[in-house]
């Protein structure tokens, strides 16, 4: 049976329609993603934070490209944000030497860079406003900062922003009792005593048998408490994080276990 040329062209045209639809839909999604990012996640005005010694309270937080930290800027003037952009985004002046150790790299870098001019109180938090481990007054970090008793931070020196002691207590880590799996996988837990000795420049006998503290690496610290350690201590700790043969997750986890000890608290709170 003969088939007309116009019929063939019509069939070819119709088979190409799905391709056109798919491409158009993808372009639409890209447009929506760009619009959402620029509208919902606008960067702050390109500016360097003010000199740290001239502010009473600082908010230190790292952020990824997809984290919206506008909530932190809305806390001004009570809290002045120092935002470390992991992806070196325009509008964020603060940088990290390298992206390793999760939030620990930003926390230590801020202390090292501002040691001589530290604000009176510093809150170290994560970039995302909503955190599953925020409790007591809700899951939004803003609520915790607004309900934080500054006098308690001044008196105690170090205060974890989480109220519930679980996870973390009664025991977080037993440095001298790694599991067989930890040893087999050369996990950071299997090397905890040696790492602890290096970080704190102590002997093996000074490594605690048990460590316990509330998770999850969000806390407030006073200037005086930070300065109970010399700046060289924080440099040594960051140098370890920069060169350790563990992945970023493991390094961040280890610091999460010992922040309270770094700031001169007992190993078991």
pLDDT (0 to 100) of residue 54: 75
Q: Retrieve residue 264's tokens.
A: 């001169």
pLDDT (0 to 100) of residue 259: 97
Residue 237 pLDDT greater than 50, yes or no: yes
Dihedral (C-alpha) 164, 169, 170, 173: value to the nearest 10 degrees?
180
Q: Retrieve residue 64's tokens.
A: 């990824």
Q: Which of 86-100, 110-124, 232-246 has the lowest mean pLDDT?
A: 86-100
Burial (CB < 10 A; 0-12, 13-18, 19+), residue 76, is exposed
Dihedral (C-alpha) 41, 45, 46, 52: value to the nearest 10 degrees?
-110
Share of the chain above pLDDT 90, in %: 62
Of the pLDDT bands very low, low, confident and very high (cuts 50, 70, 90), residue 46 is very low
Pairing of strands 80-85, 121-124: unpaired
Residue 117 CA to residue 115 CA, distance in Å, equals: 6
Residue 141 CA to residue 205 CA, distance in Å, equals: 39
Q: What is the mean pLDDT of residues 77-95?
A: 92
**Per-residue pLDDT tens digits for 251-261:** 999 999 999 99
Q: What is the mean pLDDT of residues 25-48?
A: 52
Residue 126 CA to residue 103 CA, distance in Å, equals: 7
Q: Is the pTM of this model over 0.85?
A: no
Residue 20 pLDDT greater than 60, yes or no: no
Residue 39 pLDDT greater than 60, yes or no: no
Q: Retrieve residue 171's tokens.
A: 């025991």
Residue 120 pLDDT greater than 60, yes or no: yes
SS3 of residue 239 by DSSP: helix
pLDDT (0 to 100) of residue 22: 58
pLDDT (0 to 100) of residue 119: 95
Residue 171 pLDDT greater than 90, yes or no: no
Q: Which string of DSSP letters, residue by residue, matches 19-83?
A: HHHHHHHHHHHHHHHHHHHHHHSPPPPSBPPPPGGG-SEEEEEEE-TT---HHHHTTTTTSEEEE
Q: Retrieve residue 110's tokens.
A: 């801020």
Q: Which of 99-113, 118-132, 161-175, 184-198 has the lowest mean pLDDT?
A: 161-175
pLDDT (0 to 100) of residue 27: 60
The domain ranges of the chain are 52-262
pLDDT (0 to 100) of residue 216: 84
Mean pLDDT of the chain: 84
pLDDT (0 to 100) of residue 131: 74
Q: What is the mean pLDDT of residues 242-249?
A: 96
Residue 37 pLDDT greater than 80, yes or no: no
**Per-residue pLDDT tens digits for 200-223:** 999 999 999 999 988 889 999 999
**Per-residue pLDDT tens digits for 131-166:** 756 666 667 888 889 999 999 999 999 998 986 656
Alpha-helix runs per DSSP H in the chain: 5-40, 70-73, 103-114, 141-146, 150-156, 180-184, 192-200, 223-226, 231-243, 248-262
* Backbone dihedral region for residue 157 (phi beyond 0: left; psi -120 to 50: alpha; all else: beta): left
Cβ(248)–Cβ(99) below 8 Å: yes
Residue 23 pLDDT greater than 80, yes or no: no
Of the pLDDT bands very low, low, confident and very high (cuts 50, 70, 90), residue 34 is very low
């Amino acid at each position: 049976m003969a088939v007309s040329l116009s019929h063939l062209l019509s069939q070819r045209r119709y088979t190409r329609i799905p391709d056109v639809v798919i491409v158009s839909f993808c372009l639409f999604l890209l447009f929506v993603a760009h619009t959402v990012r620029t509208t919902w996640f606008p960067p702050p005005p390109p500016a360097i934070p003010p000199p740290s010694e001239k502010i009473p309270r600082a908010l230190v937080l790292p952020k990824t490209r997809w984290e919206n930290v506008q909530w932190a800027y809305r806390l001004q003037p009570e809290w002045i944000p120092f935002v470390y952009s992991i992806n070196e985004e325009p509008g964020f002046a603060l940088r990290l030497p390298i992206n390793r150790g999760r939030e620990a790299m930003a926390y230590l870098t801020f202390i090292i860079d501002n040691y001589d001019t530290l604000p009176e109180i510093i809150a170290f938090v994560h970039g995302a406003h909503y955190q599953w481990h925020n409790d007591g007054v809700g899951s939004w970090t803003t609520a915790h900062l607004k309900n934080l008793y500054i006098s308690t931070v001044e008196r105690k020196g170090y205060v974890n922003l989480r109220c519930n002691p679980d996870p973390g207590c009664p025991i977080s880590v037993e440095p001298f009792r790694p599991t067989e799996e930890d040893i087999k996988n050369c996990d950071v837990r299997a090397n905890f005593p040696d790492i602890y000795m290096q970080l704190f420049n102590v002997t093996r006998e000074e490594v605690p048998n048990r460590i316990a503290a509330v998770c999850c690496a969000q806390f407030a610290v006073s200037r005086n408490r930070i300065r109970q350690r010399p700046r060289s201590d924080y440099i040594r700790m960051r140098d370890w994080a920069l060169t350790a043969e563990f992945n970023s997750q493991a390094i961040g986890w280890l610091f999460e276990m010992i922040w309270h000890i770094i700031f001169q608290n007992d190993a078991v709170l």
